[in-house]
Structure 1
Amino acid sequence: MQHPWGQAALANLVDLLVTLVEAAGAVVIFLGASVAFVQFVGAAIRGRHTVDFVPIRLGLGRFLTLGLEFQLAGDILRTAVAPTLREIAELAAIATIRTALNYFLNKEIQEARAELSGVADLTAPGRAAP
């Protein structure tokens, strides 16, 4: 059954939505990189770049993860209108790669949080450094 708007109009709407969602992902990644850069420069000027590096990486990792989610959403939208088998296969490959990237980013974020927690525990009052 044909969609009442027509296939071409629906495809144009989905193309617009894909562009908006992918642009949102790009903006999130750009903002995250910009914030991390400013924080890193500030830490370097204060001479604390080694101490402040982990929280900066954590923040950037969160932005990257969110940006990748937007990009994946755009890829899913792209295949929403009459996908071919090739488009489905490409989506599967892209989704696998982006999911793997997100997995490893999240794993690194968790490890960095644990590292930060360990540093906080060592510097807490009443704690002796090993």
Structure 2
Amino acid sequence: MEFLDEESISTFVDALVRLVEMAGAVVIFVGCVVAFARFVWIGVRERRAESFVRVRLDLGRMLALGLEFQLASDILRTAVAPTLQEIAELAAVAAIRTALNFFLAREIQQERRELASADARGSSGAA
């Protein structure tokens, strides 16, 4: 039995895939829990819609990071002797996740602009 035979490599890569998937799920879960706690805290204290922009921005960042981990696990999954079907599935999943990341990044940029304009209005009103 050879140490670097295909079965051993496949088993090792499967373990890595599970770790990376779990990391992505943990990032998304923690981001959601933190965002929810901040949402409740801000909702009780301030009750203004503008106050939630930072919460949405931070949640968006965590979702984007979690999606990157999930995409990385999909890429790892096809690292060992992929079939054409696995490559096609990876391409479809990668396209969907890339589109999600694109729209999420666009929304994050919009939130940043709103936050910057709100900060500018706040600082010009204080002067």
Scaled by the length of structure 1, the TM-score of the pair is 0.92
CA distance in 2 between counterparts of 1:54 and 1:126 reads 20
Aligned residue number for residue 20 of structure 1: 19
In the TM superposition, 1:47-126 aligns within 5 A as: 47-125=46-124
**Root mean square deviation of aligned Cα:** 1.6
Q: Larger deviation: 96-105 or 40-49?
A: 40-49
* 2:81 maps to amino acid: A
Segments of structure 1 that go 5 or more residues without pairing to the other structure are none
Q: Residue 123 of structure 1: CA displacement?
A: 1.0
Q: Secondary structure at the match of 1:124?
A: helix
1:32/1:12 Cα in 2 relative to 1: closer, same or farther (>3 Å)? same
Distance 1:30 1:21 in 2: 14
Secondary structure (helix, strand or coil) at the match of 2:68 reads helix
CA shift, 1:51, in A, is 2.5
Equivalent position SS for 2:82: coil
Which consecutive aligned stretches of 4+ in structure 1 deviate over 4 angstroms post-superposition? none
* 3-state SS, counterpart of residue 5 of structure 1: coil
CA distance in 2, matches of 1:122, 1:83: 54
Spell out, residue by residue over 1:69-119, the C-alpha distance to the aligned partner (whole angstroms, 9 max, x if none).
Answer: 000000000000000000000000000000000000000000000011111
Cα pair 1:21 1:73 within 8 Å, conserved:
yes
CA deviation after TM superposition for structure 1 residue 125, in Å: 3.6
Query: Structure 1 vs Structure 2: percent identity of aligned residues?
Result: 58
Cα contact 1:25–1:68 (8 A) shared by 2: yes
**1:4 offset after TM fit, Å?**
5.1
Q: Distance in 2 between matches of 1:124 and 1:54?
A: 17
Deviation at 1:27, TM superposition (A): 0.2
The aligned length equals 126
CA distance in 2 between partners of 1:23 and 1:43 (Å): 30
Letter of the aligned partner of 1:85 in structure 2?
L
